[in-house]
């Protein structure tokens, strides 16, 4: 006897089995068209079948709003026999999981092309406020050689075999967890095996053997901490570089090492911290800090925060011009608060001891005291790469309780309105996140400094009751080489014990 779902969808024959149940070839009797129907078996509804059913139907119906060539259209979501059934466009195609299982892994260039298509589909979904939750090789169909993403809604509340680390820890799905799953999908497609064969994600996946030029994007997408994961813009640049579509400004001078350890190598026990000597610029009066020069920036709510955030970024941007003009700057010639008696390190990183904190910075970089902070920069005059850390608002300041997300948003608007300091300003992304157990925000944008196309990423966060900014600045063709240093900097920044 023919089974008809919701009095409308006539099930004709099974097309295959998915993790949640059978996928059926069906006919929509109302519109007289062929469709696919994804069933969710009763044993997949768990201890709260009514709640899970409602969640699946709600999310699948939300996905009906999506209209993208890389997404299998969701037509409907209905209930029948106490179970959800999701009706989607019929796509007669094999999944990536089937292709890899039967034909073997795909070459890096082909996987990069698939990754670009899937990334574009996910961006469309995320822009509509929809998270996929289970990007996996079984949910990617190759139709006429092009990938299309299916499975929206079916993973709502579903325990996943290999969730992103934050989801394994009990946090909800997010665009960042979708990007992690995209990385895991690309890894499995190019390697022919999952990145974490032994179960839940570890700190780092197994080093890839076949990925070749695809390794940097896998490295960036599969970072355990979501705030350290690369975003869609950087993922797109890296994927395009694999295909040879990247511009000269997008191609780094050197590729970061694949899958570095989660923390830099251990260091010998540190000497007791010593007070940093005060830095007095040449010609400045000996008493008090040097006077600030340049335009006065208006201070708006939250009081004090915006102006100092703006100035911190302006100082970092000004360094680009300074380094470009001062070609004689070297590690030995730059003022430094580091102990000169410390022996040189063979490690790529060294520990810097600051006021109440320690952090790992690149071994060859110079360290210069700045206003309530430090500037770490590459002494090579041929490149522009720096990381700055500044205490924006002291803990005893009334503005220390300001909303850091709002403050950085306000600062971003001021950056856009200042073509003198940031000519050609273009905002790339703004992210709200958790860092050091508190709310934080991160802004990334490009601009032109001294006729050099450059990029800046600024994180505003709280530490020890104060508000800090951590800023990485580099010319575009050095960006991908400096980002791992910045991520190590943020990952190792901790209270001085």
Fill in the DSSP letter of residue 14. Answer: E
Q: Which helix (H) or strand (E) holds 357?
A: strand 357-362
| CATH code for the part of the protein at 94-250 | 1.10.510.10
Angle subtended at Cα 334 by Cα 331 and Cα 335, rounded to the nearest 5 degrees: 130
Does this model's pTM top 0.85? no
- CATH number for 305-495: choose from 3.40.1000.10, 3.40.50.40, 3.30.1490.20, 3.30.390.30: 3.40.1000.10
- Assess whether pLDDT exceeds 50 at residue 199: yes
d(CA 167, CA 183): 15
Q: Could you tell me the residue ranges of all domains in the chain?
A: 4-89, 94-250, 305-495
Mean pLDDT, residues 124-130 taken together: 86
Task: Tell me how far apart the 2 most distant CA atoms of the chain are, in Å.
Answer: 94
Structural contact between residues 175 and 135, judged by C-beta atoms closer than 8 angstroms: no
Contacts of 275 (CB under 8 A, 6+ apart): none
d(CA 430, CA 384): 23
Q: Which residues face 79 on adjacent strands?
A: 84
- DSSP 3-state of 294: coil
- Assess whether pLDDT exceeds 80 at residue 436: yes
Q: Is the dihedral of CA 394, 395, 399, 403 positive or negative?
A: positive
Provide the pLDDT for residue 477.
Answer: 84
Mean pLDDT, residues 135-150 taken together: 88
Mean pLDDT rounded to a whole number for the chain: 76
13-47 tens-digit pLDDT: 988 776 667 888 999 999 999 999 988 876 666 56
- DSSP 3-state of 83: strand
Band of residue 236 on the pLDDT scale cut at 50, 70, 90: very high
d(CA 460, CA 236): 25
323-359 tens-digit pLDDT: 444 433 333 333 333 333 334 444 688 989 998 999 9
Band of residue 304 on the pLDDT scale cut at 50, 70, 90: very low
Backbone angles phi, psi at 297, to 5 degrees: -95, 140
Percentage with pLDDT > 90 across the chain: 26
- DSSP 3-state of 444: strand
Mean pLDDT, residues 98-118 taken together: 93
Mean pLDDT, residues 252-271 taken together: 34
Mean pLDDT, residues 265-289 taken together: 37
Contacts of 105-109 with C-beta under 8 Å, sequence gap 24+, read 105/189, 105/190, 105/191, 105/192, 105/210, 106/189, 106/190, 107/190, 108/190, 108/210, 108/211, 108/212, 108/213, 108/214, 108/242, 109/213, 109/242, 109/243
| CATH code for the part of the protein at 4-89 | 3.30.200.20
- In the sheet that 438-449 helps form, which strands lie side by side, from edge to edge? 366-370, 373-377, 385-393, 466-475, 452-463, 438-449, 426-435
Contacts of 17 (CB under 8 A, 6+ apart): 23
- Residue 398: both structure tokens together: 């009334």
Structural contact between residues 357 and 496, judged by C-beta atoms closer than 8 angstroms: yes
- Residue 306: both structure tokens together: 């915006």
- Residue 388: both structure tokens together: 């700055």
458-479 tens-digit pLDDT: 999 999 999 999 999 888 888 8
User: Comparing 126-135, 202-211, 236-245, 434-443, which segment has the lowest mean pLDDT?
Assistant: 202-211
d(CA 158, CA 45): 8
């Amino acid at each position: 006897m023919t089974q008809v779902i919701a009095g409308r969808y006539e099930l004709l024959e099974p097309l295959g089995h998915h993790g949640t149940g059978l996928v059926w070839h069906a006919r929509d009797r109302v519109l007289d068209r062929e469709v696919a129907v994804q069933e969710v078996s009763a044993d997949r509804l768990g201890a709260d079948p009514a709640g899970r059913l409602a969640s699946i139907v709600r999310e699948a119906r939300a996905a009906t709003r999506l209209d993208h060539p890389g997404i299998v259209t969701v037509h409907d979501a209905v209930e029948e026999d106490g179970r959800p059934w999701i009706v989607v466009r019929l796509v007669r195609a094999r999944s990536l999981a089937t292709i890899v299982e039967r034909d073997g892994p795909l070459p890096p260039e082909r996987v990069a092309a698939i990754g670009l298509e899937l990334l574009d589909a996910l961006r469309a979904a995320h822009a509509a406020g929809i998270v996929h939750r289970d990007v996996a090789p079984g949910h990617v169909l190759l139709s006429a050689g092009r990938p299309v993403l299916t499975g929206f809604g079916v993973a709502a509340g579903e325990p996943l075999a290999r969730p992103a680390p934050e989801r394994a820890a009990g946090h909800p799905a997010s665009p960042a967890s979708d990007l992690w799953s995209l990385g895991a999908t690309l890894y499995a497609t190019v390697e022919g095996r999952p990145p974490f064969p032994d179960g839940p994600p570890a700190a780092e996946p197994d080093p890839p053997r076949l990925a070749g030029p695809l390794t940097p994007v896998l490295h960036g997408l599969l970072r355990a901490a979501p705030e350290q994961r690369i975003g869609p813009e950087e993922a797109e640049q890296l994927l395009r570089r694999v295909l040879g579509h990247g511009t000269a400004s997008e191609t780094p001078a050197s590729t970061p090492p694949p899958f570095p350890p989660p923390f830099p190598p251990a260091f010998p026990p540190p000497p007791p911290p010593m007070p940093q000597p005060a830095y007095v610029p040449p010609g400045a009066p000996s008493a008090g800090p040097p006077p600030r020069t340049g335009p006065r920036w208006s201070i708006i709510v939250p009081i004090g925060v915006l102006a100092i955030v703006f100035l911190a970024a302006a100082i970092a941007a000004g360094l680009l011009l300074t380094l470009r003009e001062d070609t004689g700057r070297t590690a030995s010639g730059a003022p430094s608060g580091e102990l000169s008696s410390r022996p040189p390190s063979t490690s790529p990183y060294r520990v810097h001891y600051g006021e109440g904190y320690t952090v790992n910075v690149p071994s060859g970089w110079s360290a210069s005291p700045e206003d309530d902070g430090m500037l770490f920069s590459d002494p090579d005059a041929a490149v522009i790469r720096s990381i700055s850390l500044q205490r924006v608002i002291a803990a005893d300041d009334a503005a220390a309780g300001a909303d850091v997300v709002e403050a950085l948003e306000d600062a971003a608007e001021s950056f856009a309105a200042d073509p003198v300091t940031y000519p050609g300003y273009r905002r790339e992304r703004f992210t709200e996140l958790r860092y050091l157990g508190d709310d934080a925000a991160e802004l990334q944008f490009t601009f032109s400094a001294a006729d050099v196309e450059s990029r800046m990423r600024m994180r505003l966060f709280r530490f020890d009751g104060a508000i800090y900014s951590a800023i990485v600045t580099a010319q575009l063709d050095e960006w991908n080489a400096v980002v791992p240093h910045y991520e190590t900097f943020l990952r190792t920044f901790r209270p001085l014990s």
